[in-house]
Amino acid sequence: MTVNLTEQEIRLALFGNSRSAPDAVNESPVVKAAEVSVKSTPRRTSSPRLRVTLKVTKTFEGVEEIFSYDADTLSSLVAEQEARAAAKRKRFKYFELVSIVSV
């Protein structure tokens, strides 16, 4: 039992003629992207941040440098791990934790 129905006939069968205009069935339900006005301004939310300060060196007992890293987390352990990983990317090998402060 194959019935060949057009899209308009299927829409009429499913939804009926709920609109008063006779041409309402022929309208396309697709909304164009230009018609939709969405404000795309980024919202500035206050995210939790921790500032981790490390003393870092590239060689054992070498010249120490202060390295600070801002982590977007409340966990001091995660913030310290992220700071150590960032220092490793800068080729530092030895780390000493100085402080973890909320910003």
Give the domain ranges of the chain.
50-102
Given this model, what pLDDT does residue 36 score?
A: 46
pLDDT value, residue 9 = 86
**CA angle at 46 for the pair 40 and 51, rounded to the nearest 5°:** 125
Rounded distance between C-alpha atoms, residue 23 and residue 26, angstroms: 5
Torsion, Cα 38 44 50 56, to 10 degrees, reads 80
Q: Which residue has the higher pLDDT, 46 or 52?
A: 52
pLDDT bin (cut points 50, 70, 90) of residue 97 is very high
Cα–Cα distances in Å, from 82 out to 56, 58, 71? 14, 18, 7
